[in-house]
Amino acid sequence: MTQSRPVKIAINGFGRIGRTIARQVLSTSRKNQFELVLINDIAPLDICAYLFRYDSVFGPYCGEVTAGDGQLNVDGLQIPFSVEPDISDLDLSDVDVLLECTGAVKSREIAERGLKAKAQNVLISGPASDADITLVLGANEDQLGRAKIVSNASCTTNAIAPLLRLLDDELGIQHGHVSTVHCYTNSQPLIDAPTASAARSRAGALSMIPTTTSATDLVGEVLPNLNGKLTGAAIRVPVASVSAIDAVLQLSRFPSAGIEAFLEAACAASPVLAATRDLVVSSDLRGRPESLIVALPEIMQVADRQIRLMGWYDNEWGFSARMLDMAQLMNSRA
């Protein structure tokens, strides 16, 4: 994908995903691909600057970070920072893509506020049923069309959908089950506290917690050919970052070279998938930008054309990388 100038982005919501996106834009090789023109969050600027500088998962930012007068100063770059609760009251006429990262978009009216503020496009960092379309790179990005409000689905959907698309296209998927072993998130309390879910009311860092996942429903939306063919579940586990998928799939046919060799070659050719032969643990995959890293030593042939697959994904860093990729794709339309 080529671009004549950096994509101008604004981040609404400077939480886990918003700050991770900013880190990638400001401190990696992607800094020449994007211009961060605005950050908006209702939290105080000094706290946001502190949390950007010192990150419990990714470590301290390797550069200078200070809070200025209405701006976040990073390595000499002055990024305007606003605390507007209603983003439609801002002037976003210079923004190519608004990255909606509050996690609070539950209606189209909220998503449309970015367009009302004159942003050209809005990309939502999570499931959003009222978006124009839900897209996952490596799965259905060819369906983008002229959509202005796009959901980037969930981190788990980004992890499994490209792999399932690959397997279904090449080998055919008859049915299967996918479990995600997911690190705890801000949706869970640190100590037992009432929430809408009984299990998720338990302390997130003290137990393995069986729960649900939206990923299988989203896969059916992103890949209609698989709708109704998959079940899914989740277990929240007491680690702070990096999650995994564990899938058992019944295939229509088996690759002549064997499933391990097939997946190794296919992942090497994919822009969003990777594979490893190393015996790794979750912390080894922190900061990896791929949507999924298939663990080749964990592959099993369970029965005739039935396989068990496992893969790792950094649910923050990898998902944030896909947000930026999708922003580039949306901006690349003439």
Rounded to an integer, what is the distance from CA 333 to the centroid of its chain?
A: 22
Q: Which residues pair with 83 in a beta bridge?
A: none
| Contact present, 236 and 182 (Cβ < 8 Å) | yes
DSSP, collapsed to helix, strand or coil, labels residue 297 as: helix
Instruction: Say how far apart CA 178 and CA 214 lie, in whole Å.
Output: 11
Nearest to 180 by CA among 199, 204, 160: 160
* Contacts (Cβ under 8 Å, ≥6 apart) of 267: 273, 274, 275, 294
Instruction: Say how far apart CA 76 and CA 67 lie, in whole Å.
Output: 11
Q: Which of 48, 101, 155, 183 is catalytic?
A: 155
| Contact present, 250 and 225 (Cβ < 8 Å) | no
Give me the half-sphere count of Cα atoms (radius 13 Å) on the Cβ side of residue 221.
21
Rg (CA), the chain: 20
Whether 101 is a known active-site residue: answer no
Residue 303 burial (10 A CB sphere; 0-12, 13-18, 19+): exposed
Residues with a known catalytic role: 155
